[in-house]
Amino acid sequence: MTATTAVTAPAVSGAAGPARPAGPAARAHRRARLRRTALPYLLLAPALITFGVFKAYPIVDSLLLSFTTGSGPAARPAGLANYRRLLDDPLFWTALRNTGEILVVQVPLMLGLALLLAVGINSTLVRWRAVWRLGVFMPAVTGLVATGVMFAFLLKRDDGAVNWLLHAVGLPSVDWLGQPFWARMSVVLVLTWHYTGYNAVIYLAGLQSVPKELYEAAMVDGAGAVRRFTAITVPALRPVLLFTVVLSTIGTLQLFDEPYVLTGGGPDNASLTVSMYLYQNGFRYFDFGYASAIAYALTLLVAVLGAVQMRLMGEKDG
Amino acid sequence: MNPKNLRGWPLTFLLAGLTGLSVAPFYWLLVSVTRKDTEIFDWPPHLLPGGGLGDNLHRLDQRIGLLRVLGNSLLVAGVQTLGALVVALLAGYAFAKFRFRGRTLLFALLLSTLVVPEQVVLVPLFRMMTDFGLLDSYRAIILPGLCVPFAVFLMRQSLSSLPDELLDAARVDGAGEFRVLWNVVVPVMRPVLAALSIFLFLGSWNQFVWPLIALRSPDMHTLPVALATLYGNQSTTDYGAILSGTALSTLPMMVLFLVLQRQFISGLLAGATKG
C-alpha cells in the first residue's frame, strides 16, 4: 500500500457532497474513501477467515452432528437419539459425578490456599516476598502432560516420593492412583499444585490495588485482622474472586490432560471425566454424533454454572 | 530486633513451606533425570544429582527421536505464536481504531466463542482435516490456533487506550495505514505484544488434546504427545527416558520464566485484568 492514502478523510469529508464533483481530485478522493472503508475489513480478514473456518463452522457443525448417527457417508439423521442415550448412559453419569467431585473439592481448596498465599505475600511483615511469589508461580509454567507424568511417578504406591514423605512424618502410605477415591484426589492434588500460585498472583495484583488508607483507618477504629480481612480485603477482591471462581470451574469441567496422563481415567473409571469420555467416544469408537452430543452437554453445563456463579457473586455490584 | 519484625516470622515460615511444596517436584525431577534408571525409585529418594543424565537422554533420543520432536514443538509453537500475534494485532487494531458496519456484531461473535469449551470443535476439526487431507501435518495443528479470540480481545483493549492523535500525526505526515501500524503502533505496544506472545507460546508449546488427535506418526509428534505416548506405552517403563523428556519440556519454559518474569506474569495474568 502506498504512502499517499490520504486518510485524513474526516477533515475533508464535508467537501464530498451529493453533487459528486468531477475532476481528478475528486476521483482520487473517492478512491481514498473507498480504501478507508475497505481497510478495517482488510485488517480483519485474517482473523475472520481463520475464525470462520476453524471456530465458527466447527461449532455449528458439531451441533448438527449431535443430531446424527453413524459416521462418514453412512451418517443419517437421528433426531434427539444421542441426547436421549446420554441421559440413560451410566458411564456418562459416572464421568459427570467424578468431574463434579473433583470440582467441588478442588476449586475451594485451591482458591482458599491461593488467597492465603496472596495475603501472606502481600504482608509487609513477611521477608523475601519476591522469592515466594516467584516460587509459587513456577508450577503454572509447566505443561499439563509434564505435570501429569511427574506426579504419576511422585505418587507411586510402593516407591513414590510422596508416600516416602508421608512415612517420614509417621503417616501410612496411600495407594494414590490405585484406589477410586484417591485417584480423584490425586487429580485434585495435581490441579492444586499447578494452579494455586497462578491464582495467588492474580489475587496479589488485586490486593495491591486496595488503598492502604482503608486498612489504616480500620486499625484506628480498632478492627482486628480478621475483621479487616472480611470487611476490606474480600469485598475489594470480589471481581477478581468471581473471575477466578468462574475460570477454575470452567477449566475443571473441561478437565482432560491431567487424568489422561495420571490415571487414564481409572481405576475402573473412577477418575473418568466428561472430556475424557467425549474423547473416547469420538476418537476411540469414532462415534462422532455421540461425542458431539457430549460436547454440547458440556457446553450447556459450562454456560449454566458460569451464569449461576456470576449471578450469585456479582449481584451486589448492580 | 523490634517486635514488629518478629511477628512476621511465622508467616514467613509458612510461605517458605508452601513455596517449598511448589518447587519440590521440580527439584525431584532435576535430581531424577541425572540418576540411573535403577536409582530413580530408591527408598529414601536421592537428594543429590548422579551421573546418569547422558545415558537417559540417549535412550530418550532412541525412543522418540529427540531432535525431531523438539523441532516439531518449536516449529509449531513458533509459527503459531507469530501468526496468532499478527492476526490479533490487525484485528484488534481494526476493532479499536475504525468505525465500520458490523463492528459490534463481529466483535460480539468473536467473544461469544470464549465460553464454548475447546472440546466442541475437536470432532468437526478432525473431520475437516481428514477431508482436506491434512491429518498428521503441521498445518493441521497450526491453522486452528491462528485466531485466538482472547488475543484479539486483549489487543483491542490495549489499543483502545492508544491516543488517536498519535496515529493522526503520522497520517498527516503522509504515512500509509500499514506504515502507521508498523512504525507507530507496534513500538508503543511492545510490552503488550511481549506479554501476549509469551501467553501464546506457552499455550502452544503445551497444547495436547488436539495434537494427540491430529498427529498420527511418531515423526510428527510434538513433545507433549511424544511424552504421553511414551509414558502410556506400558511395555516400556523406561523411567529415566520418560523423566528426561519431562524435564526437557519443562526446563526451557522455566529458564524463560526466570529471565522474563515480569512479561510472563503479565502475559499469564492478561486475562485477569479488568477489560
| Interface mutation target, options A57, A115, A141, chain B, most CBs of B under 10 Å | A141
User: Please, which pLDDT band fits residue A111 given cuts at 50, 70 and 90?
Assistant: very high
Mean pLDDT for the stretch of residues A232-244? 87
Total-model pTM: 0.85
At A94 the pLDDT is 95
pLDDT of B58 strictly over 70 = yes
- Does pLDDT of B228 surpass 80? yes
Residue A39 has pLDDT above 80, yes or no: yes
- Chain B residues touching A308 at Cβ < 8 A: none
Write out chain A residues lying below 8 Å of B127, CB-based: 61, 288
pLDDT-based confidence at residue B61 (cuts at 50, 70, 90):
confident
pLDDT for residue A73 is more than 70: no
Phi, psi dihedral angles at A76 (to 5 degrees): -140, 160
Task: Pick B87's closest partner by Cβ from A50, A291, A296.
Answer: A50
Checking if the pLDDT of A271 tops 50, the result is yes
pLDDT per position as a tens digit, B3-34: 556 777 888 888 999 999 999 999 988 888 88
Inter-chain contact B21–A193, Cβ cutoff 8 Å? yes
The answer to whether B239 contacts A260, with C-beta atoms less than 8 Å apart, is no
Query: In the predicted model, what is the mean pLDDT of chain B?
Result: 86
Instruction: Compute the nearest-CA separation of A23 from chain B (Å).
Output: 22
What residue in B sits closest to A300 (Cα-Cα)?
B116
Cβ contact B177–A39 (<8 Å): yes
For residue B29, the chain A residues in CB contact (below 8 A) are 150
CB contact under 8 A, B11 and A134: no
Q: How far apart are CA A276 and CA A57, in angstroms?
A: 23
Q: pLDDT (tens digit, 9 = 90+) per residue, B153-180?
A: 989 988 988 888 888 888 888 778 888 8
pLDDT band at B259 (very low <50, low <70, confident <90, very high): confident
Q: What is the pLDDT of residues A134-189, one digit of tens each?
A: 889 889 888 888 999 899 989 988 888 888 888 888 888 888 888 999 999 999 99
Residues B209, A256: contact at Cβ < 8 Å?
Answer: yes
Least confident of A31-35, A158-162, A253-257: A31-35
Mean pLDDT score, B59-73 = 88
H or E stretch including B2? Answer: none
The alpha-carbon gap from B49 to the nearest alpha carbon of chain A, in Å, equals 16
Contacts of B243 in chain A (CB under 8 A): 149-150, 153
**Least reliable range by pLDDT among A29-33, A73-77, A242-246, B252-256:** A29-33
Run of H or E residues at B96? helix B66-97
Q: Cβ–Cβ of B121/A143 closer than 8 Å?
A: no
pLDDT score, position B275: 33
Give the nearest chain B residue to A49 (CA atoms). Answer: B147
Mean pLDDT, to the nearest integer, of A17-34? 66
Please determine, for residue B117, whether its predicted confidence score (pLDDT) is greater than 90.
no
Note the pLDDT tens digit of each residue in B175-207. Answer: 788 888 888 899 988 888 988 888 899 889 999
Q: How far apart are CA B50 and CA A193, in angstroms?
A: 27
- Asked if residue A208 has pLDDT above 50, the reply is yes
Q: Tell me if B106 sits within 8 A of A61, measured CB to CB.
A: no
* pLDDT value of position B204: 93
Contact (CB<8Å) A282/B231? no
| Cβ pair A292:B123 closer than 8 A | yes
Examine the pLDDT at A7 and tell me if it is beyond 50.
no
Q: What pLDDT is recorded for position A272?
A: 94
- By C-alpha distance, the chain A residue nearest B201 is A141
Task: Select the residue from B1, B5, B6, B22 to test the A interface by mutation, using most A Cβ atoms within 10 A.
Answer: B22
Q: pLDDT, tens digit, for every residue of A82-92?
A: 999 999 999 99
B9 interaction partners in chain A (CB closer than 8 Å): 127
Q: What percent of chain B has pLDDT over 70?
A: 94
pLDDT of residue A76: 83
- Residue contacts between A and B (CB atoms, under 8 Å): 282
Cβ pair B124:A61 closer than 8 A: yes
Read off the pLDDT of each residue in A61-66 and give the average, rounded to a whole number: 91
Residues in B closer than 8 angstroms to A82, CB to CB, are none
Cβ pair B124:A164 closer than 8 A:
no
Residue A317 pLDDT exceeds 50: no
With beta carbons under 8 A apart, name residues in chain A contacting B94.
39-41, 43-44
* A104/chain B closest Cα distance in angstroms: 19
| pLDDT at site A3 | 40
The whole-angstrom distance between A93's CA and the closest CA on chain B is 18
Contact A161/B227, CB-based, under 8 Å?
no
Distance CA A18, CA B63 (A): 74
pLDDT of residue A2 exceeding 70: no
Give the integer Cα–Cα distance in Å for B246 and B242. 6
Three cell numbers, residue A109: 481448596
Q: How far is A202 from chain B (nearest CA, A)?
A: 7
Q: Which of B7, B171, B258 sits opposite A7 (nearest CB)?
A: B171
Chain A CB contacts of B253 under 8 Å are: 141-143
Helix (H), strand (E), coil (C) string for chain A: CCCCCCCCHHHHHHHCCCCCCCCHHHHHHHHHHHHHHHHHHHHHHHHHHHHHHHHHHHHHHHHHHCCEECCHHHCEECCCHHHHHHHCCHHHHHHHHHHHHHHHHHHHHHHHHHHHHHHHHHCCCCCCHHHHHHHHHHHHHCCHHHHHHHHHHHCCCCCCHHHHHHHHCCCCCCCCCCCHHHHHHHHHHHHHHHHHHHHHHHHHHHHCCCCHHHHHHHHHCCCCHHHHHHHHHHHHHHHHHHHHHHHHHHHHHCCCHHHHHHCCCCCCCCCCCHHHHHHHHHHHCCCHHHHHHHHHHHHHHHHHHHHHHHHHHHHHHC
